[in-house]
Amino acid sequence: MGQLTLGCLLGQYGGAQSFDVESRGGLTEVRSWEKGGQCSWYFAGTGTPHFVHSSAQSLRIDVFSREANTTLLSYGYNQADDARARWFPEVDTHPVQAVAWVLVHPATSSGDFRAQLIASPNVSLVLPGLTLGVNPLQFVRMESAVFSDSATAPRVTIRPSVGKDISSQASILADDVLTAVDAIRLYPEWSFEARSELIRSRHRTRAGAQHDLIWSKYLAYSMPLRFLPGSEAELLNWWWERGFPLLLTLDSSDSEGLHVVRIVNETQPIGRRVRPYPDLWEGTLRLESTDAGGLAF
């Protein structure tokens, strides 16, 4: 199965940071997104399938002459329902993980760009240039940490690399941007299940004919867990109690293995001790994706 992690998703609109969100109202209404000056941005729709990862449209930024290390696109997790309201209150240090699907088409003299997760400490990742319309969006991942007593909220940015001025024009495309805090690695039992559920209505006529109306599907997971330390048991129960959207990573090497889910147990998911250990716990998480199983919100 590969790596399996679960973290609390950050961001407005229930954690949604696909560029489909509020797109009809214009970019200024996509809360927390900021762009730098001397560049223009617009939505790239479904007519160019290589320009999107999973949603109906991506965000394209055309950058003109620009000095190095200046912000082009930025998202700050400092709104009321972002990082400070969602990180686990029982710990002081919170791991932060940011993933994104981006494509950079720099001019010959422009050099590299970098994505940066600003937390404590700062973490950056170079984004190599590719050809628009030929190469698919690239998957990138950054990890850092933030502290409960820090005044700095996590922030994701895209900038020209240090020492690399933009002397002509370059383009950046971004689609899904997902950031999670307090992610933990889980090791489910062999009875772990992953399946698809249909949203449908079934009707039988008096003559016995069957008619199905199928609207969509979603993913569902049954995840038996044992030998959980008390801190992880409390964290999972806290997420369940508050109904937070979560980022589930089924395979760290496969971008399609990331899904936005919620814990849907009717009762507290983790609550039984494992004999004969007084400080280890077990239970079964029931997760459901918040959409058809991709990353479009």
Residues near 252 by Cβ (< 8 Å), separated by ≥ 6? 2, 3, 5, 141
Query: Does 220 have pLDDT greater than 80?
Result: yes
How confident is the model at residue 272, as a pLDDT? Answer: 93
Identity of residue 188: P
Q: Give the domains, in start order, of the chain with CATH numbers.
A: 17-181 (2.60.120.260), 193-289 (no CATH)
Residues in the chain: 297
Cα 46–71–123 angle (5° rounding)? Answer: 95
Query: Does 64 have pLDDT greater than 90?
Result: no
Question: Between 184 and 214, whose confidence is greater?
Answer: 184
Rg (Cα) of the chain, in Å, rounded? 21
Question: Between 281 and 192, whose confidence is greater?
Answer: 281
Q: Give the Cβ contact number of residue 267 at 10 Å.
A: 7
How confident is the model at residue 205, as a pLDDT? Answer: 80
- Helices (H) and strands (E) counted in the chain, each on its own, are 2, 17
How confident is the model at residue 296, as a pLDDT? Answer: 39
Query: Does 27 have pLDDT greater than 70?
Result: no
Work out the pLDDT band at 246, boundaries 50, 70, 90: very high
Query: Does 98 have pLDDT greater than 60?
Result: yes
Work out the pLDDT band at 29, boundaries 50, 70, 90: very low
Q: What is the pLDDT of residues 261-288, one digit of tens each?
A: 999 999 999 999 999 999 999 999 999 9
Q: Give the Cβ contact number of residue 289 at 10 Å.
A: 20
Q: How is residue 253 written in tokens? A: 């090497």
Mean pLDDT of the chain: 79
How confident is the model at residue 210, as a pLDDT? Answer: 82
The answer to whether 68 and 130 are in contact (CB under 8 A) is no
Among 21-25, 62-66, 162-166, 289-293, top mean pLDDT goes to 62-66
Residue whose token pair is 């797109």: 23
Residue whose token pair is 């609550």: 271
How confident is the model at residue 280, as a pLDDT? Answer: 94
The mean pLDDT value for 46-61 works out to 70
| DSSP conformation class of 107 | -
Pick the range with the lowest mean pLDDT from 49-53, 101-105, 178-182.
Answer: 49-53
How far is residue 102's CA from residue 53's CA, in Å, rounded to a whole number? 9
pTM: 0.85
Query: Does 49 have pLDDT greater than 60?
Result: no
Work out the pLDDT band at 45, boundaries 50, 70, 90: low
- CA-based nearest residue to 172, from 36, 28, 295, 59: 59
For residue 266, list its beta bridge partners.
none
Work out the pLDDT band at 202, boundaries 50, 70, 90: confident
For residue 262, list its beta bridge partners.
288
How confident is the model at residue 21, as a pLDDT? Answer: 57
Residues near 157 by Cβ (< 8 Å), separated by ≥ 6? 71, 72, 73, 74, 75, 115, 116, 118
Measured on CA atoms in the order 14, 19, 20, 24, is the torsion positive or negative? Answer: positive
Query: Does 167 have pLDDT greater than 60?
Result: yes
Work out the pLDDT band at 198, boundaries 50, 70, 90: low
Cα 144–77–146 angle (5° rounding)? Answer: 30
Query: Does 218 have pLDDT greater than 80?
Result: no
